[in-house]
């Protein structure tokens, strides 16, 4: 009889642990969804014009970085050519 109680107790603990882990996973998934929904609901305060302005500024910055990298590579090639001659 005592063996059955221990076995039932062990099964109950395993089932409880499984339920806890499933609830934790569900909560984590839903918290991400809730946080995203809160962000989306706050976002309409920004205008389309502001979004376009920010996107344009970002693209201009990316273009400048690419131009600087290209200039740096050209300068390195010139230095190497100059050193070889």
pTM of the model: 0.40
Kindly state whether residues 64 and 82 are assigned to the same domain.
yes
Q: How many domains does the chain have?
A: 2
Q: Rounded to whole angstroms, what are the CA distances from 14 to 23, 40, 74, 78, 85? A: 14, 39, 66, 70, 78
Kindly state whether residues 33 and 68 are assigned to the same domain.
no
Residue 45 pLDDT > 80: no
Kindly state whether residues 40 and 5 are assigned to the same domain.
yes
* Number of other CB atoms surrounding residue 26 within 10 Å: 10
Residue 26 has a pLDDT of: 82
Residue 43 pLDDT > 80: no
Residue 12 has a pLDDT of: 83
Residue 16 has a pLDDT of: 86
DSSP 3-state of 1: coil
Kindly state whether residues 33 and 71 are assigned to the same domain.
no
> Residue 67: which pLDDT band, with cuts at 50, 70 and 90?
very high
User: What is the extent of the structural domain holding 41?
Assistant: 1-45
CA–CA gap between residue 59 and residue 65 (Å, rounded): 10
Kindly state whether residues 35 and 54 are assigned to the same domain.
no
What string of DSSP letters covers 43-69? GGGS-HHHHHHHHHHHHHHHHHHHHHH
């Amino acid at each position: 009889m005592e063996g059955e109680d221990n076995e039932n107790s062990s099964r109950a603990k395993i089932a409880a642990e499984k339920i806890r882990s499933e609830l934790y996973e569900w909560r984590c998934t839903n918290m991400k969804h809730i946080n995203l929904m809160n962000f989306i609901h706050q976002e309409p305060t920004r205008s389309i014009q502001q979004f376009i302005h920010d996107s344009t500024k970002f693209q201009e910055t990316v273009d400048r970085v690419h131009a600087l990298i290209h200039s740096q590579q050209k300068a390195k090639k010139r230095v190497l050519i100059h050193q070889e001659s």
